[in-house]
Amino acid sequence: MMINTGMNKAILTFLLISIALTPSFGQTPKGIVIHEKFLAASIIGNPGGEDAIRRVTIYLPPNYYKSKQHYPVIYFLHGFNGEDSATMDALEINKLLDTAISSKHIRPVIFVLPNSFTKYRGSFYTNSVLTGRWTDYIAKDVVNYIDKRFRTIPNKDSRGISGASMGGNGALKLGMLFPDVFSSVYATTPATLNWSDGINTNIEAFKKLSEIKNDSELLKTDRPLLMVDLARTYSPNLNKPPFYADMPAYYIGDSLVIDTTAVNKWTANFATNMIESHLTALKSLKAIKIDWGRNDAGRHVPVTCLQFSKKLEWYGVHHFAEEYLGGHAEHLEGTDGRLYTEILPFFDTYLNFKE
């Protein structure tokens, strides 16, 4: 058998060059993930018993400690029943950022996940006289802490706010309430934006709540727990144990009773109904994007996301909106997921990277 030595050498040379040019995961420069705790002024003294010592998970880009460079910051808000470090781990955000930065998919950034987990699993990033001032916690306490501790570019044009589910809701609210702190907003599958088919006074959760008498029973549930958490946020009542909130609907025997005062408080707190009173803020933002999965198991999400987008369009607020094939907060992980392909490039485009 004849062996073509010249051809074999050429193939070997090609393979060696290809291997040399192909980045391996081990060769990718790695950022640093750190977890810190601090005392959040906005949560101190809340009568709901929420801990004012809050944790925050921070990703610092590769070579952070070897340079004097200042960086823009992306703040990412976790969802209901979520936490900062668990979200970082589940989505492997640090690995996605390492890959995105090393491949020049995006420029180096600081990525921050604040912990907003509460006794009832969620803050909804809303100020409450019962549980604490969670909007202020993000926009004031966390931002100030990060700016003091790390080399950020400390202005709104270099800060973006994002989040998934409850966090997407929070991102939209924070953009409306603090346009002087954040310039760009990306809300992925924002939940409970308004009353709808899945969130209304006729849902079964309010009937089930009539049978629940204490925290231990409530914390074993799903939708009833969510309704109580929303009530403690939107319609708290410090004189009404055991949950210290007025429910928009409740049962006396088999009879449904509607509390119109509580309904009105929830209505006012839903992000969709905040648009009219925050038009100046919304129009001042550099960029807004909303996306959602068309097959979301939370029936209210696709409906209210589209409603929110249409309302922005009606009032002339420029934004991007996208419905994708998928469920609730799906397709975020991996280099083919939306965090990598959509959210990170969005902020790379709209944040200011100049000191």
pLDDT at 3 over 90: no
- pLDDT score at 2: 43
Q: Which residues on neighbouring strands pair with residue 320, listed in sequence order?
A: 289
For 126-167, the DSSP string reads -EETTTEEHHHIIIIIIHHHHHHHS-B--SGGGEEEEEETHH
- pLDDT score at 197: 85
Chain-centroid distance of CA 337 in Å reads 16
- pLDDT score at 24: 43
User: If DSSP codes are grouped into helix, strand and coil, which group holds residue 287?
Assistant: strand
- pLDDT score at 330: 85
Distance (Å, whole) CA 217 – CA 225: 10
Whole-model pTM: value is: 0.91
Distance (Å, whole) CA 122 – CA 230: 8
Distance (Å, whole) CA 295 – CA 327: 5
For 232-264, the DSSP string reads HHHSB-TTSTTTTB--SEEEETTEEEE-HHHHH
Three-class secondary structure assignment of 15-45? HHHHHHHCCCHHHCCCCEEEEEEEECCCCCC
Give the pLDDT confidence of 184-199 residue by residue, as tens digits.
999 999 999 999 988 9
Give the pLDDT confidence of 62-86 residue by residue, as tens digits.
999 999 999 999 999 999 999 999 9
Distance (Å, whole) CA 271 – CA 254: 32
pLDDT at 286 over 80: yes
Averaged pLDDT of the chain: 92
- pLDDT score at 176: 98
**pLDDT mean over 137-156:** 98
Give the pLDDT confidence of 28-52 residue by residue, as tens digits.
899 999 999 999 999 999 999 999 9
Give the pLDDT confidence of 125-146 residue by residue, as tens digits.
999 999 999 999 999 999 999 9
Domain ranges across the chain: 26-194+271-350, 204-265
Residue with tokens 């709209």: 350
The sheet carrying 287-293 orders its strands as 32-39, 53-60, 110-114, 73-77, 159-164, 184-188, 287-293, 320-324
Distance (Å, whole) CA 114 – CA 76: 7
- pLDDT score at 26: 52
Chain-centroid distance of CA 147 in Å reads 20
CATH code at 26-194+271-350: 3.40.50.1820
pLDDT at 11 over 80: no
